Amino acid sequence: MLRLALLLALVVAALGLVAVRPASAQVSPTVADGGVENKFPGGMVFRVSTQSDSPIQRIRLHYTVLPDGTAASTEADFQPATSVSTSFTLEGNNPPRIYLPPGTTIRYHWEVTDADGDTAATQPATFFYDDIRFRWTSLEEDGITVYYYSGSERDAQAMLTEAGKTIASVCKLLGVSVNFPVKVWIYRSVQEMRPALARRSETFEQSVTTAGVRVSSDTVLVLGNVSFITLRHELTHVVTAVAGEGPFGSLPAWLDEGTAVYGQGDPGGYREALNRAVAHSNLLSIRSISSYPGDPAKVDLFYGQSWGLVSYLIDEHGAEKFARLFAEIKSGKRTDEALIAAYGFDQDGLEDEWRASLGLAPRQEPSPSETPQPTATKAPPVSSRPGPNEDGGGTSTWVIVGVALGVAALAGVVGLAGLALARRMR
């Protein structure tokens, strides 16, 4: 009997082992992050490997572009199998679909699903997308980082110090604070900076030289290691975006660019363009410069007049009302509504008051060439603007527009005259 009982016990134990073995051998999906390869300026390659006891049916990459929090997801291509290694290439410069400037930080994770519906995901990770063509040195202070690969450390430190002063000054003016790190990338030459800019047409590239641009909410590119005017202008845009841009509001071009020229300190040639227009009484209507003009001949006057309007608002009505104007626009009010809330007059009232301060009569009805434009339009994705000579011997600030008459005529035929206009990345 003892032998029989022992035999039965062994049989039961064996059956139990057989019963649990398939469950213990089952492999639910596992996934491993294979890292990211920088292909600047062509983007980045995300790699992943995964396996399961049933074929993998879906591999999805979730990513967020920081600091703005623009989130997206996409599926990788692969053939279903129980073990898969694959990758996904995120393009870096294919406007208007996508443009990732140097300094972009991507937060991402992978998620996989097998044929049984089971899922697995990697832990969130971040990748810093920098311009790997050069060996960068960085200086950081108070949340601002200057990256440079040429010139002296002393010059870079001077740019860093100027950056801090600029952001602090404009934040005080607009009554806001910049609560995220700011990155400044300094390039040595036009040719070396161009691949870092959003790709444009060949005509644009031949007609315009960009010497400074805010490429995202936290990043500016600057040409030249002592380009202080350019630096101040572009960093002012960082602050104006914080103060006036939001999900419900957008700054008119004259207010945004006028504040940037005010923030750069010296308006340079823009002042002369404004003075000439005042002398000949041929100023642009304020509503016509609510968006960026498409006529290269009006570029200097556009910036000069925008600066004149902003200077008048600040000098005559004070910084407090000026800061309120930005806050009202950010809250969702259109430009006229925001001006009335802050000052008691709309754009037409501002224009008449400003013209009176210049000794000019109130503006008459706009001419057909100056049809009123929407008051809250977004600027195109690339910034390039003409400007005065730089501190320290630079040749120009934002843009040198080299458009011959023949090129301008051709641009008019194909509808590309506006490409010579200086605009900033939004």
CB 235 within 8 A of CB 260: no
**Which pLDDT belongs to residue 415?**
40
Q: Render each residue's pLDDT in the chain as its tens digit; 426 residues.
A: 444 454 445 444 444 444 443 444 556 899 999 999 999 999 999 999 999 999 999 999 999 998 888 899 999 999 999 999 999 999 999 998 999 999 999 999 999 999 999 999 999 999 999 999 999 999 999 999 999 999 999 999 999 999 999 999 999 999 999 999 999 999 999 999 999 999 887 777 776 778 899 999 999 999 998 899 999 999 999 999 999 998 888 999 999 999 999 999 999 999 999 999 999 999 999 999 999 988 888 999 999 999 999 999 999 999 999 999 999 999 999 999 999 999 999 999 999 999 999 999 998 765 444 444 433 333 333 333 433 333 333 323 344 333 333 333 333 433 433 333 333 334
Closest CA to 371 of 299, 289, 252, 303: 289
Regarding whether 305 and 189 lie in a shared domain, the answer is: yes
Regarding whether 218 and 117 lie in a shared domain, the answer is: no
Return the bridge partners of 182, or none.
144
Regarding whether 329 and 283 lie in a shared domain, the answer is: yes
Decide if 383 is inside a domain: yes
Residue recorded with tokens 């020229």: 261
CATH number (domain holding residue 254): 1.10.390
Regarding whether 125 and 231 lie in a shared domain, the answer is: no
Decide if 239 is inside a domain: yes
pTM as predicted: 0.78
Regarding whether 167 and 51 lie in a shared domain, the answer is: no
Domain that holds residue 59: 30-129
SS3 54: coil
Residue 131 phi, psi (nearest 5): -85, 100
CB atoms within 10 A of CB 292: 23
Contacts for 271-278: CB closer than 8 Å, 24+ residues apart: 271/304, 271/307, 272/300, 272/304, 273/300, 273/301, 273/303, 273/304, 274/301, 274/304, 274/305, 274/307, 274/308, 277/301, 277/304, 277/305, 278/358, 278/360
Give the distance, in angstroms, between the CA of residue 394 and the centroid of all CA atoms in the same chain: 25
Decide if 332 is inside a domain: yes
Residue 188, burial from CB neighbour count under 10 angstroms (0-12, 13-18, 19+): middle
Regarding whether 214 and 358 lie in a shared domain, the answer is: yes
Regarding whether 334 and 196 lie in a shared domain, the answer is: yes
Whether the bond between 96 and the residue before it is cis, its omega within 30 degrees of 0, is yes
Whole-number Cα distances in Å, 413 to 369, 408, 409, 410, 416:
18, 9, 6, 5, 8
Regarding whether 62 and 44 lie in a shared domain, the answer is: yes
Regarding whether 171 and 100 lie in a shared domain, the answer is: no
**Which pLDDT belongs to residue 27?**
67
Regarding whether 173 and 61 lie in a shared domain, the answer is: no
Regarding whether 398 and 258 lie in a shared domain, the answer is: yes
**Which pLDDT belongs to residue 396?**
34
First vs last Cα of the chain: how many Å apart? Answer: 88
Whether the bond between 372 and the residue before it is cis, its omega within 30 degrees of 0, is no
Decide if 426 is inside a domain: no
CATH number (domain holding residue 119): 2.60.40.10
Whole-number Cα distances in Å, 30 to 54, 75, 313, 316:
11, 17, 61, 66
**Which pLDDT belongs to residue 417?**
36
> Which of the listed residues 96, 129, 162 is the one where a domain comes to its end?
129
Angle formed by the axes of helices 253-264 and 319-330, to 10°? 140
Regarding whether 156 and 111 lie in a shared domain, the answer is: no
CB 392 within 8 A of CB 226: yes
* DSSP assignment letter at 380: P
Give the whole-angstrom CA distance, residue 89 versus residue 87. Answer: 7
Whole-number Cα distances in Å, 278 to 167, 239, 292, 344:
32, 30, 20, 25
